[in-house]
A and B are shown apart, each in its own frame.
Chain A
Amino acid sequence: MPADTAVPAGAAARPAAPQSPLAEFWSSFTENRGAVFGMVILVLIALTAVFADLIAPYSPIEQFRDFTKLPPVWDDGGNWRFPLGTDALGRDTLSRLIHGARISLFIGLSVMVVSVVIGVCLGLVAAFAGGTVDSVIMRVMDLIIAVPSLVLCILVVAVLGPSLPNTIWAVTIVYLPRYVRLVRASALSEIGKDYVTAARVVGAGRLRLMFVTVLPNCIAPLIVQAALGVSDAILEAAALGFLGLGAQPPTPEWGSMLADSREFIRSDPWIVTLPGLAILITVVSINLMGDGLRDALDPKLKRS
């Protein structure tokens, strides 16, 4: 998570604290047990994703034709060779879930990074330029918000064609307005302050004012939004995968695994249950951590 790099900047906006900013952040973050729990789970999932090739017993696309639709080991007829069972084509569910973690986290992080970068630039430009530029940018964002998120994703995918990179683009476009609005609003509230005027008088250029003077003071809410944005992006991408508009087979994406297994809900409930559970656990852990970040970084937003 980008938290470590940005914490000093977020904390610098507050009056000098006796603790170092990082220590202060950490102590208020760890106060929230849910957030720590979420972080631990998330780290485990991230490690699984990074070392997927080492951990997974099989290749996610290898088909064992003699072992199709095996239940997990704790169910009747389970086989220790395939601890979580196999799907209709005889692929090992555990291996597919492990590799799916890589894909889902990759989607979530890419969407977050791309939309934060573009969102920060557009938001700062809107705030600093004002006038027509501001209006045009904000009206485009209004337009994106007006279309229900999934419908807009579907529209973008319909134009670009279904694939993993296009899923990322579609979800990025949908989530862009939040970042633009957030950055613009916090930049506008900073622009009038004395330190910005001082920097301007000293002769700081526009780019310096935007990215060096103002941006660090807008960063705390941005981190919170970005963390929650990762979980939303994972959900949205899984929904697209479920509708057959996301990653294409045989990619072991959790949403498309669910779509493949839909016809088996009567006969083999496990094939349907496990990928969804993986999505749920990942998203819950990110949201728990995001809540902790919010409480620690942004006292104004603190939910009592």
Chain B
Amino acid sequence: MIKYFLRRLALTLPTFVALMFVTFVMIRLVPGDPVEVRTGERGIAPERLAQLRHEMGLDQPIWKQFVDYVVGLLHGDFGTSLVTSEKVLTEFSVLFPATIELSLCAMLFAVLIGVPAGVIAAVKRGGPFDHGVMGASVIGFSMPIFWWGLLLIMLVSERWGLTPVSGRLDPIKFYFDSVTGFMLIDSILSGQEGAFLDAVQHLILPTIVLGTIPLAVIARITRSSMLEVLSEDYVRTARAKGLSPFRVIGLHALRNAMIPVVTSIGLQIGTLLAGAVLTETIFSWPGVGKWLIESIARRDYPALQGGIMLISSIVIMVNLLVDVMYGAINPRLRHAR
């Protein structure tokens, strides 16, 4: 088991190295001089310019810059934002909990609705419910979520006034320091009346928007995996033994049908983070996705570089973890190529 883990880990190493290289090269290919971004377009004295270049290490030979960059990364230094002069890692870790909170809620939403919908669709195969679920899942899967978000804001927030339009909390009614970074937890800890409810209201629409595509995928996979399992011999045996349909489906079939579903959840981490960029932009959700887009607009390339490095590393590690967990569950995979 440990050997398997180490081998998988070793396989990701070249990916990490390549990632460092690509993010490093990218910042040098981007049009515009980083020093200029920092000083503005009016220009400054040449001596000051040289000094700034020296401070930022830009007067070093290119290979030395790369080595410095890698050494920095290995020490947890992901660069410094040109705009705020904060460490990228610091900014990232403040914003990341907001993205995780949103992503977790979206995934939970997708699983809680998608799995039962898929199971019922499989059991009532060919019926109106099945057709409904399959039709809805094609639409959900094809949804341009940035438009879906605007549509929901238009209906739910503007016309019906049910939820707030943007942000994580009403800044006029509530204020408290962030403890965990997760608004749902912080709002309870703050002890302010109504804060938790307000946080939940802010979460509803972004959760639905980000969860729509995973929901469609999960409902579909659950349905087809359930159909496959339901035709297995052991399910027939369980039925023949006279077990109630609820036990057969809920206990015997569902457990095995969930394996592909769990895989697909692991594989969707990247999709979820990509979707978070759009969702956060639409709802002004202060997470890393919105921050990345703003970094481009502000031409804050170190932030972009560090942010992409961090997000990609997280995706690689999560995928590795999913893989290894599979190896633990299913020994056959350990020896596969």
Residues of A whose CB lies within 8 Å of any CB of B are: 34, 139-140, 142-143, 145-151, 154-155, 158-159, 161, 231, 235, 238-239, 242-243, 245, 255, 258, 262, 265-266, 269, 272-273, 275-276, 279-280, 283-284, 286-288, 291, 303-304
Contacts and interface: CB of A to CB of B under 8 A. Distances in A.
A243 B296 CA distance: 11
A283 B228 contact: no
A154 B296 contact: yes
Contacts, number: 129
B316 A243 contact: no
A244 to B, nearest CB: 8
Given A280-B139, A304-B224, A149 B274 contact: yes
Given A145-B270, A151-B311, A238-B144, A159 B15 contact: no
B73 interface: no
Given A34-B138, A146-B316, A151-B311, 9 more contacts: A143-B22, A146-B19, A148-B273, A155-B304, A238-B146, A242-B278, A272-B150, A287-B142, A303-B220
User: How big is the B interface, by class?
Assistant: 35 or more
A155 B293 CA distance: 10
B179 interface: no
A139 B15 CA distance: 6
Contacts of B154: 265, 269, 272-273
B144 A288 contact: no
B173 to A, nearest CB: 22
Nearest to B299: A158
A37 B151 CA distance: 26
| Residue of A139, A146, A154, A265 most packed against chain B (CB within 10 A) | A146
B191 interface: no
23 contacts: A139-B15, A143-B18, A146-B15, A147-B19, A147-B312, A149-B274, A150-B275, A150-B278, A151-B311, A154-B292, A158-B26, A158-B30, A235-B144, A238-B146, A243-B278, A265-B154, A272-B154, A275-B147, A276-B144, A276-B146, A284-B139, A303-B220, A304-B224
Interface in B274-302: 274-275, 277-278, 281, 292-293, 296, 301
A182 to B, nearest CB: 15
Contacts of B60: none
B15 A155 contact: no
Contacts of B158: 265-266
B146 A242 contact: yes
Contact of A159 (B30, B148, B315): B30
Contacts of B308: 147, 151, 155
Interface string B184-218: 00000000000000000000000000000000000
Contacts of B147: 242, 258, 272, 275-276, 279-280
Nearest to B31: A161
B278 A146 contact: no
| Residue of B31, B150, B304, B316 most packed against chain A (CB within 10 A) | B150
A238 B281 CA distance: 15
Interface of B (DSSP majority class): helix
A303 B224 contact: yes
A226 B64 CA distance: 43
Contacts of B2: none
B15 A243 contact: no
Contacts of B138: 34, 284, 287-288, 291
Contacts of A154: 277, 292-293, 296
Contacts of B14: 139
Contacts of A242: 144, 146-147, 278
B256 interface: no
B271 interface: yes
Contact of A148 (B141, B144, B271): B271
A152 B275 CA distance: 13
Contacts of B319: 146
Contacts of B274: 148-151
Contact of B142 (A245, A284, A304): A284
Nearest to A244: B297
A50 B153 CA distance: 35
Contacts of B311: 147-148, 151
Interface in B102-145: 138-139, 141-144
A269 B147 CA distance: 12
B146 A258 contact: yes
A258 B49 CA distance: 41
A288 B301 CA distance: 40
Contacts of A151: 273-274, 277, 292, 308, 311-312
Contacts of B89: none
A169 to B, nearest CB: 13
